[in-house]
A and B are shown apart, each in its own frame.
Chain A
Amino acid sequence: MRQLRPDTDIQPRRFHKLVKFSLAAFLVIFLLEIWTVNRLATFGDKIQQIEDTRASLELENQYLKSQIAEQSSLPVVEKKAAELGFVPMENLAYLQTTSLAAAR
Chain B
Amino acid sequence: MIMPLRNFHAHSLTGGTREISPGRLKLLRLFYYLLFAAVAVRLFYWQVLRFDDLSAMADQQHLVNYTLQASRGTITSADGAVLATNRPSFLLYGLPEAVKNPSDTAAKLAAVLAPTPAPDQTDNTSAERQLKEELQSDLSQALDWVTLSKNVDLPTRQEIEKMNVPGLGFESQLQRFYPEASTAAHVLGFVGSDASGQPTGYFGLEGYYNGELTGVGGEVVEEKDAQGFPIAIGRFSQKDAQSGRNLLLNINSTVQYIVEKHLKEGMEKYGARSGTVIVMEPKTGAILAMASFPDYDPNNFSLYAKNDFLNPAVADSYEPGSTFKPLVMAAAINEGLITPETTCDSCSGPVKIDNYYIRTWNDKYFPETTMRDVLIHSDNTGMVFVSRKLGLDKTYDYIQKFGFGAPTQIDLQDESSPTLRPKNEWGMIDLATASFGQGIAVTPIQLVRAMAAIANGGYLMQPQVVHAVQIGNAWRVIQPKVVSRPISSQTAATVTAMMVDAVSKGEAKFFALKGFNIAGKTGTAQIPVAGHYDPTKTIASFVGFAPAEDPKFVMLVEYEQPSSSIYGAETAAPTFFDIAKELLAYYNIAPSY
A interface list, Cβ under 8 A from B: 37, 40-41, 43-45, 47-48, 51, 55, 59-60, 62-63, 65-66, 69-70, 72-75, 89, 92, 94
Return the chain B residue nearest A95 by Cβ: B590
The reply to whether A40 and B232 form a contact with Cβ atoms under 8 Å apart is yes
Pick the interface stretch among B79-87, B355-363, B388-396, B458-466.
B79-87
* Residues in A whose Cβ lies below 8 Å from that of B180: 70, 73-75
Shortest CB-to-CB span from A67 to chain B, Å, is 9
Asked whether, in the complex, the Cβ of A66 is within 8 Å of the Cβ of B87, the reply is yes
Which 4 pairs of residues, A with B, have the shortest CB-CB distance?
A44-B229, A69-B179, A69-B82, A66-B87
Q: List 5 A-B contacts (CB under 8 A).
A: A44-B225, A44-B230, A59-B154, A59-B172, A66-B177
- Interface size bucket, B side? 20 to 34
- Quick one: given A66-B87, A66-B179, A69-B179, are A74 and B253 in contact (CB under 8 Å)? yes
Given known contacts A63-B88, A66-B87, A44 and B254 CB-to-CB distance under 8 angstroms? no
In this complex, what residue of A is CB-closest to B157?
Answer: A59
In B554-582, which residues have CB < 8 Å from any A CB? 581-582
Apart from A63-B153, A72-B81: 6 A-B pairs, beta carbons within 8 A: A44-B224, A45-B227, A60-B154, A62-B88, A66-B87, A69-B177
Q: CA–CA, A28 to B177, complex, Å?
A: 59
The reply to whether the CB of B591 lies closer than 8 angstroms to some CB of chain A is yes
B152-186 interface code vs A (CB 8 A; 1 in, 0 out): 01100000000000000000101001011101000
Q: Are B154 and A94 in contact (CB under 8 A)?
A: no
Chain A hits for B233, CB < 8 A: 37, 40-41
Q: Which residues of A contact B177 (CB under 8 A)?
A: 66, 69
CA distance A73 to B254 in the complex (A): 10
Of residues 184 through 234 on chain B, the ones whose CB sits less than 8 Å from some CB of chain A are: 224-225, 227-233
Q: In the complex the two chains form, what is the Cα distance from A45 to B225 in whole Å?
A: 10
Residues of A contacting B: mostly: helix
Instruction: Report yes or no: A74 in contact with B230, Cβ–Cβ below 8 A.
Output: no
Contact A44 B227 (CB under 8 A): yes
Residues of B within 8 A of A43 (CB): 232
Contacts of A73 in B (CB 8 A): 81, 179-181, 183
Asked if B85 and A66 sit within 8 Å, CB to CB, the answer is yes
Q: Are B230 and A48 in contact (CB under 8 A)?
A: yes
Q: Mark B232-274, 1 if CB is under 8 A from A, else 0.
A: 1100000000000000000001100100000000000000000
Task: Tell me whether B88 and A45 are in contact (CB under 8 A).
Answer: no
B87–A62 contact, CB under 8 A?
A: yes
Check: B16 CB closer than 8 A to any chain A CB.
Answer: no
Cα A63 to Cα B230 in complex, Å, equals 27
Are B229 and A65 in contact (CB-based, < 8 A)?
A: no
In the bound complex, how far is the Cα of B253 from the Cα of A72, in angstroms? 11
For the complex, give the distance between the alpha carbons of A41 and B581 in Å: 71
Distance from B490 Cβ to chain A, minimum over Cβ atoms (Å): 31
Q: List A contacts of B153 (CB < 8 A).
A: 63
Smallest CB separation, B247 vs chain A (Å): 15
Docked CA distance A75–B253 (Å): 11
Are B87 and A75 in contact, with the CB atoms below 8 A?
Answer: no
Minimum CB distance partner of B76 in chain A: A69
Q: Are the CB atoms of A62 and B254 closer together than 8 Å?
A: no
Instruction: Give B71 Cβ to nearest chain A Cβ, in Å.
Output: 8
Partner of A48, one of B81, B85, B229, B585: B229
